[in-house]
Structure 1
Amino acid sequence: MTLDFAAGDRSAMLDRVIGMARGPYGYVVTPNVDHVIKLMDGRVRRDVYEGADLKICDSRILAHLARLRGISLTVYPGSDLTADLLASCASQGLTIGVFGPDQAAFDELSALYPRQRLLWIEAPMLRPGAPEWDAAVRSAADAEWDVLLACVSFPKQELFAHAVRAAGRRTGVALCVGASVDFLTGRQKRAPEMFQRLSLEWLHRLLSQPRRMFRRYVVEGPAIFAWFLRTEVLGSPR
């Protein structure tokens, strides 16, 4: 599998996303190293990522590896994309659905962005294939939004966005953006800017949550270098 990331700078990508909100239904994924490893070893369905209409790089490590092959990738983390979308004047007038955060987190988000038209869509504990999952998919597919922030962790959010299309959604764009709302409301803290600039955001998360992140970053993470050497994981931006 080859991931063809979006071309252009952050402003151009944001414009593309806002444009998608007014067109036929599509969804956006934001791959990082963990996502790519699980895609390549088969733990995540590849058709879900292949079905994405836009793939935006969410990893400076991937961008560094791409540079070794002469490929220039713009890194635009999902949390930054979400913040820019909500702050953009161009998105005002759109209805932005929020799927994943609880009612209290949604209320906090609404207070931060009073000019945006936000819609809370309840997300019960989800297990793909369960009756609650199917009901949530149908609820999201039928709701009146132009942009859907799908924030239920990888790979559930990608599976969910894919399932919304299969449920017959015709318009709008779903963004698979993980903990973005938690970062905006302060429920989770992002790495300091220095760590981000040095491509060490992963280290900050490891030090902050060692038990949760040890396997991801220390045991599984280094596999990205082997995948990079023996496969064409990264394609030219489009």
Structure 2
Amino acid sequence: MDPPRRPFPLPDPTESTAPPPAAHERILGVSFFNGTAGDAVNHARRKGGLIVIPAAPALIKLKYDEEYRLALQRADLVLADSELLALLWRIVSRRRLKKISGISYLKCLLADSEIPKKEKLFLVVSSDAAKCKAIDWLRERGFPIDPDDCHVAGAAPHGQEHALLFEIEKRRPQHVIIALAGTGQEKLGVYLRDFLLYRPSIHCVGAALGFLTGTEHPIPDWAERFHLGWLSRLVSQPRMLLPRIGIAFALAGMIFKYRSEMPRLKTRWADV
């Protein structure tokens, strides 16, 4: 009888014995997961906890938003949804950081065949329109979800935390998907993880759900595959070109100055 297969192949002794890449990279005081989307999903399903996927605009707020800084530091898994961050880190440290977009992570999570059969979803979205589209989109793909499995938090969830906590506790889903813009979703995720009486996987995916359901302008598969989602968004929203350039310069300045350290907290001068 053949021996059982190992989950990972043993290294070939004829190959290089250099250590494998680090599982995490510490950048701007935040420990970023340095694996694939599939690795991240497997980690989330096994251990639960809070998974956050900050993009470049949110990372700028590390200098001005103390609660957001703490949320990223306390998250169980932080994924880098920024090709710019990966490039800058490559220049500064000569090490690679794997970019995992919110879309690729969410697709990987929902592609798991066990979720529709055995695991419940709960959504937190920003509007009634987003709720309807998300429910329709998930039902078309075989997910048994109903309106009570989706909470409309509006643009900002502040002040709704207690009600949402009780709602989730009552339904006990295995996966809570928070699809809100801005940095409020990470703060909400920390609150839910810390005060729920059980440990679900809490996925802060931002606009990723909207890109899939049609609430947001869709990103073509080719753009996502070649890490050009930012270009697709600029084409659909050309007025964002100058703000994006400003964000790129600001993030570059932070990376070159602070590298692995958390930026010094300053009084916020702009909400970028």
TM-score (norm 1): 0.83
Contact 1:138 1:164 survives alignment (8 Å): no
Identity %: 22
Q: Does 1:39 align with 2:62?
A: yes
> Aligned to 1:98, what secondary structure does the other structure show?
strand
Contact 1:202 1:217 survives alignment (8 Å): no
- CA offsets 1:84-110 (integer angstroms, 9 cap, x no match): 111112434111111116341133123
> Aligned to 1:149, what secondary structure does the other structure show?
strand
List aligned pairs for 1:96-115, cutoff 5 A: 96-100=121-125, 102=128, 103-114=131-142
Alignment correspondent of 2:97: 73
Which runs of no fewer than 5 residues in structure 1 stay unpaired?
none
2:202 pairs with one of 157, 174, 177: 174
How many positions carry a matched residue from both structures?
Answer: 228
Q: 1:20 to 1:124 in 2, by over 3 A?
A: same
Contact 1:4 1:234 survives alignment (8 Å): no
CA RMSD of aligned residues (A): 2.6
Q: 1:124 to 1:201 in 2, by over 3 A?
A: closer
Contact 2:50 2:75 survives alignment (8 Å): yes
List aligned pairs for 1:127-138, cutoff 5 A: 127-130=156-159, 132-138=160-166
If you compute each CA radius of gyration, which structure gives the higher value, 1 or 2? 2
Q: Does 1:2 align with 2:29?
A: yes
Which runs of no fewer than 5 residues in structure 2 stay unpaired?
1-27, 263-272
List aligned pairs for 1:12-23, cutoff 5 A: 12-21=39-48
Contact 1:141 1:167 survives alignment (8 Å): no
> Aligned to 1:4, what secondary structure does the other structure show?
strand
List aligned pairs for 1:1-238, cutoff 5 A: 1-21=28-48, 26-42=49-65, 45-68=68-91, 69-91=93-115, 92-100=117-125, 102=128, 103-114=131-142, 116-118=143-145, 120-125=149-154, 127-130=156-159, 132-193=160-221, 195-196=223-224, 199-211=227-239, 213-214=240-241, 216-233=243-260
Contact 1:10 1:74 survives alignment (8 Å): no
> Aligned to 1:45, what secondary structure does the other structure show?
helix
Q: 1:7 to 1:124 in 2, by over 3 A?
A: closer
Q: Which moved more, 1:147-156 or 1:67-76?
A: 67-76
Q: Distance in 2 between matches of 1:200 and 1:155?
A: 23
Kindly provide the amino acid, as one letter, of the partner of residue 54 in structure 2: P
TM-score (norm 2): 0.73
Q: 1:207 to 1:49 in 2, by over 3 A?
A: same
